[in-house]
A and B are shown apart, each in its own frame.
Chain A
Amino acid sequence: MTTLTAPPAGVPTEHTLGRNLPAYRQIMRSRLKTAATYRQNVFFLLAIVVVQIFILRKVWSALYQGQHTVDGLTLHAMLVYLTIANLQNWVFQDPTISMYMYDRIREGQVAFDLVRPAGFVPQMFAHLAGSSFATMLFALCALPLVALAGTLGAPASGSAFLLYLLSFVGGYVITALLTLIVGMVAFWTMEISGLTMLYYLVNQFFAGALVPITLFPGALRVLANLLPFQATTYAPVSIYVGRLTGADAWRAIGVQVVWVVLLTLCATAMWRRALHRVVVQGG
């Protein structure tokens, strides 16, 4: 095995990224069109999150039992947190692309990705970005319905909103990397639906979409803080509702940056091994 010396495809250098930008844009455009083709399905998925938001509102309203604040959050702020956290989490957690990767890998289409001038991982990232953009448009259209089922409110302040936007991008990139990593598991196992379901469950809980992680009991909270999921949802939405401000907010964004770096390294290493598996062992 002396032959794998050059950087494998899919490890983009800055140079190739620029050259391939029009291709990535075209992938995103095509993804948007695909999403439009399957819009009925999106409305069903949207119904799930709207129902979930409604149930969470009822449960949490009952839990407050007239108390003014819990863990420094008013009921109104808590409901805004839950509504935005779930909606945002829904936009981020897009099963389309990990399924697409799984199908490509299982059916051997991935062979075509090896003879493309653009790498596999950046191509999949472009697919994901296009798909998420479509989901975001659907979510924006559904805002009135979401406001009815849950509680929408303005951000805590102007600076909170700006920091939220920054943190939103960080949270998105982390989720995207996790999605790619879960999708790439298909190189080693023949079936990923179980893993995907586990991932969604763990993610939803540890992202703080059902319960803000500051309310987790001791050991669970420590664990939640060590996992990347809190950085996808809890951090940005806490900034939005004013639960994290100033230095705390910046620290949360710093943690996001660390996760982006770590997960990028992880995805790259995984792709190298996957590529080795494909080209040396023949899949």
Chain B
Amino acid sequence: MAPVIRVENVVKEFRKTRRQEGAFGGVRTLFTRQYDTVLAVDGVSFGIEPGELVGYIGPNGAGKSTTIKMMTGILVPTSGTVEVAGVVPWRDRERNAMQIGVVFGQRTQLWWDLPLIESFKLIGKLYRVPQPTYERNLERFVEILDMAEFLDRPVRQLSLGQRMRGDLAASMLYEPRILYLDEPTIGLDVVAKESMRTFIEEMNRDSGTTIVLTTHDLADVERLCSRIILIDHGHVLYDGSVEPLKAKYAPHRVLVVKLAADDTGRVPVIDPSHVRGAEIAEQENGVARIRFVASETPVHDLIAAVNARYPVADLSIVEPDLEGVVRQIYGERVPVG
């Protein structure tokens, strides 16, 4: 299948007026034309297939939001090109608008002073949604996002979680093919997050909506995304599924062994030579954390080796999470500029 979103060699440079220091600095800043150039995105390329749910992640200032803004047509790249469902977003704004939905977690597209339902009505008219479609979608979204209770309440009185649910519903009322979510779960509690995730999952699975999601909450990514694009300093560091990333950056698993007291009533200590192909990361109060690489040391061999020599009260295996992986990648990066 041809990609529905094509980002090719996109570069975005910002020019910021340089502040003049010293006496009358503020006034001199107004009258001088000196600029500092900031390279926010430096040659990013990727393609997204129809129906994919892609996590676009990176630390603050990595260029995530700038890329999303170029994909939505809010920013024009300094060079390179973007094509979304056959449209260059900033060239044909009207066609682009009709096929994309956008949620910015930090901002709202809802009408502040009016009941939530009024914003939905306006979105319906703005995007020329036929009345039966509008009603069907509204009914469905009210149910999934549990909005019935606050539909008639002014947006300014909604909690952040309620407002974000409203924003998410607003972005999908007109059934766009593509949905951009820029930190949609920021600042939300567990319940609201779960509600948002369920909705995103359903839109992707049932309606086949292509979704690009940026987030700092890697639990969102692990739960929702089959593929992630990791960027930093305006470059793509990784593009692929979550599993190989974990295998590459976090190959270790940890076997946690809780030892019981032996015949003498003492809790033994595991000798490192008894767990070949693994290392004891920590051993304290009868609990040992044994690190091993799953592809090199089969876990059942390890368990058998421990079981043969020591009285085991409990065993568990800790899988690496994305959080740790990303922390490791960010930790390794060389600061630029």
Contact = CB atoms under 8 A, between A and B. Distances in A.
Contacts of A117: 94, 97-98, 126-128
B93 A30 contact: no
B18 interface: no
Contact of A115 (B66, B92, B102): B102
B118 A23 contact: no
B111 interface: yes
A9 interface: yes
Contact of B107 (A26, A107, A282): A107
Contacts of A4: 76, 90
A40 interface: no
A278 B102 CA distance: 18
Chain B at the A interface: mostly helix, strand, loop or mixed?
mixed
Interface size band for B = 35 or more
Contacts of B73: 114-115, 279
Interface residues of A, number: 34
B114 A30 contact: yes
B80 to A, nearest CB: 10
A116 B107 contact: no
B166 interface: no
Interface string A254-283: 000000000000000000000000111110
A8 B93 contact: yes
A3 B77 contact: yes
Given A6-B91, A117-B94, A281-B15, A109 B74 contact: no
Contacts of B66: 282
A81 to B, nearest CB: 36
A118 B126 contact: yes
Interface string A70-113: 00000000000000000000000000000000000001110110
Given A19-B128, A26-B122, A279-B76, A115 B96 contact: yes
A159 B118 CA distance: 42
A33 B15 contact: no
Interface string A210-221: 000000000000
A27 interface: yes
A5 B100 CA distance: 22
B104 interface: yes
A107 B109 CA distance: 12
Given A22-B128, A111-B104, A114-B74, A279 B90 contact: yes
B121 interface: yes
B126 A116 contact: yes
B125 interface: yes
B125 A26 contact: yes
Interface string A1-30: 001111011000000100110110111001
Contacts of A281: 14-15
A281 B14 CA distance: 6
Interface in A206-232: none
A23 B121 CA distance: 9
A282 B111 contact: no
A115 B100 contact: yes
A27 B199 CA distance: 28
A112 B76 contact: no
Nearest to A276: B76
B194 interface: no
Nearest first, the 5 A-B pairs at minimum CB distance are A26-B125, A9-B93, A117-B97, A23-B126, A6-B91
Given A26-B126, A112-B107, 16 more contacts: A3-B90, A6-B92, A6-B93, A25-B125, A30-B111, A34-B111, A111-B74, A111-B107, A112-B102, A112-B109, A114-B74, A115-B97, A117-B127, A118-B126, A279-B73, A280-B76
Interface of B: 14-15, 66, 69, 72-77, 90-94, 96-98, 100, 102, 104, 107-109, 111, 113-114, 118, 121-122, 125-128, 154
29 contacts: A5-B91, A6-B90, A19-B128, A23-B122, A23-B128, A26-B122, A27-B122, A30-B111, A34-B114, A37-B113, A37-B114, A38-B113, A109-B109, A111-B107, A112-B102, A114-B93, A115-B72, A115-B74, A115-B97, A115-B102, A116-B97, A117-B94, A117-B97, A117-B126, A117-B128, A279-B75, A279-B76, A282-B14, A282-B75
